Amino acid sequence: MINGHGDDLHRYPGRNLINFSSNILSGVDHTPLMEHLARLASLPASYPDPDASALARMLGAEDTVVVTAGAVEAIYLIALAYRGCRSAIVGPTFSEYEDACRLHAHTVSHVVSLSDTTGAEMVWLCNPNNPTGRVTPHATLLAHIKAHPSTLFVVDQAYAPYTTHPLLTPSEAVAAGNVVMLSSLTKRFSVPGLRIGYAVGAPGIMARIKAVRMPWSVNALAIEGACWLLERADRYPVDADSLHAEALRLASAMGEMGIETLPTDCNFILCRLTDGRPAARLKEWLVEHHNILIRDASNFYGLTPSHFRIASQTPAHNDRLINALKQWTTL
């Protein structure tokens, strides 16, 4: 990790902030999950299965799935397994692709569109994209992947639960043979604290990733918790439609205040202050005066000090953000 990230709630201990800084659905009650884990008091006492085989089978199959400590571990493993590649990163996007690539001696080029990636050995695409919330259309993406069989496409679908647009399926990723699809239980179940994600792809690619990984990176509580959550997925609904509608309402309100927003297909919105003031100042002001945490997006490659990102929350909380921003614009 070189740059900072959102959800830096841990920097404000004791503050009960409304968290717009993370793209993850908030307000999910994890009491049942934690009570389940507490009933398995012997969990800490044994090493986890280093391959998390049982969880891998729930997620697909052991030879096409690699379970990782969040999707971010998969990003670092892929960069290492394909050390020294010519990588194109479609941005602005999540900074860990670049950090992982640079750490493992990739030659990195930043591009703004899939069609600019010709000549790259590896393409990193976040879809839906963080921080813009845009989705590359399914047919466009699949056609591009098929047209470039000697390029490896890393398609990070961590934010899949937050869009209604069609995305790559695991079987498409496996069948393509030149795709690693990343998924995150973090976003699906709102469990960033657990650190659990996975990669899906053809067995040859998965074997290459497994060959460079350390044992036991996913802890026993995370594996058990993930299995438990997957078995009860219907108790953890994510209403992508409503979240998107709220995001559009937020965007519209901000537009009326003169804050620029980009179109989004998700629950989160990339915004830009047009009054010349830095987003970092807005962030600190919102914490101090309104108990609201947003994401200063100025450290995304290609963005400016005026950019910030917010994820829509409940209508009531969104109203509080709108009112706070209205106050900011009059200062």
Backbone angles phi, psi at 192, to 5 degrees: -60, -25
Q: Which is nearer to a second copy, 168 or 292 (CB)?
A: 292
Q: Which is nearer to a second copy, 75 or 325 (CB)?
A: 75
Tokens of 138: 């399914």
Place of tokens 């899949």: 160
How far apart CA 193 and CA 221 sit, in angstroms, is 11
- Identify the DSSP state of 258: T
Tokens of 2: 């070189």
For residues 279, 194, 203, 54, the Cα torsion angle rounded to the nearest 10 degrees is -160
Q: Is 7 in the site for a second copy (CB under 8 A)?
A: yes
How far apart CA 204 and CA 178 sit, in angstroms, is 10
Q: Which is nearer to a second copy, 33 or 141 (CB)?
A: 33
Q: Is 16 in the site for a second copy (CB under 8 A)?
A: no
In single-letter form, the type of residue at position 276 comes to G
Q: Is 233 in the site for a second copy (CB under 8 A)?
A: no
How far apart CA 331 and CA 327 sit, in angstroms, is 7
Q: Is 44 in the site for a second copy (CB under 8 A)?
A: yes
According to CB under 8 A, which one of 134, 187, 195, 244 is a site residue for a second copy? Answer: 195
According to CB under 8 A, which one of 18, 20, 22, 141 is a site residue for a second copy? Answer: 22
According to CB under 8 A, which one of 58, 111, 142, 212 is a site residue for a second copy? Answer: 212
According to CB under 8 A, which one of 12, 15, 28, 143 is a site residue for a second copy? Answer: 28
- Identify the DSSP state of 88: E
Q: Is 73 in the site for a second copy (CB under 8 A)?
A: yes
Binding mask 106-145 toward a second copy (x if CB under 8 A, else -) reads ----------------------------------------
- Identify the DSSP state of 22: S
Q: Is 156 in the site for a second copy (CB under 8 A)?
A: no
**Smallest gap, in angstroms, from Cβ of residue 292 to a second copy?**
16
Beta strand pairing status for 295-296 and 307-311?
Answer: antiparallel
Q: Is 227 in the site for a second copy (CB under 8 A)?
A: no
Q: Which is nearer to a second copy, 131 or 170 (CB)?
A: 131
Q: Is 217 in the site for a second copy (CB under 8 A)?
A: yes
Beta strands in 215-283 (DSSP E): 260-261, 268-272
Q: Is 184 in the site for a second copy (CB under 8 A)?
A: no
**Smallest gap, in angstroms, from Cβ of residue 105 to a second copy?**
9
Q: At what angle do helices 70-81 and 203-210 cross, to 10 degrees?
A: 90
Q: Residue 292: name the closest of 266, 322, 263 by CA.
A: 322
How far apart CA 55 and CA 74 sit, in angstroms, is 16
Beta bridge partners of 269: 310
**Smallest gap, in angstroms, from Cβ of residue 322 to a second copy?**
24
Tokens of 187: 């976003």
Q: Which is nearer to a second copy, 220 or 259 (CB)?
A: 220
Q: Is 235 in the site for a second copy (CB under 8 A)?
A: no
Q: Is 317 in the site for a second copy (CB under 8 A)?
A: no
Which positions touch a second copy (CB under 8 A)?
A: 1, 5, 7, 9-10, 19, 22, 26, 28-31, 33-35, 37-38, 40-50, 69-70, 72-73, 75-76, 80, 96, 100, 103, 190-195, 212-222, 225
